[in-house]
């Protein structure tokens, strides 16, 4: 039986952090989606099933705690 690939959403307004974390997680076998726009998180979640969200709580323009 093959285990399903876990899906992780990264939401952070710092492109360097998004790139670094995405690279590490993909190397570990995870499927990664990302957004640098906090306002886009709800629409990304509606379109994709996600097992885990890594969310920056201090995104410019949006507080991650409100998302």
pLDDT tens for each residue of 4-41: 789 999 999 999 999 999 999 999 999 999 999 888 88
Question: Angle at Cα 34 formed by Cα 67 and Cα 65, nearest 5°?
Answer: 20
Average pLDDT over residues 30-59: 90
Q: Delineate the domains of the chain, giving CATH numbers in brackets.
A: 8-56 (3.40.50)
CA 55-58-49 angle, to 5 degrees, is: 20
Q: What is the pLDDT of residue 39?
A: 87
Is 55 within 8 Å of 17 (Cβ atoms)? no
User: What pLDDT is stored for residue 60 in this prediction?
Assistant: 74
């Amino acid at each position: 039986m093959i285990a399903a690939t876990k899906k992780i959403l990264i939401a952070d307004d710092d492109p360097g952090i998004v790139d670094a974390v995405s690279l590490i997680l993909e190397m570990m076998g995870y499927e990664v989606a990302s957004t640098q726009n906090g306002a886009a998180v709800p629409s990304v979640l509606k379109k994709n099933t996600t097992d885990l969200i890594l969310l920056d709580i201090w995104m410019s323009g949006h507080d991650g705690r409100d998302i």
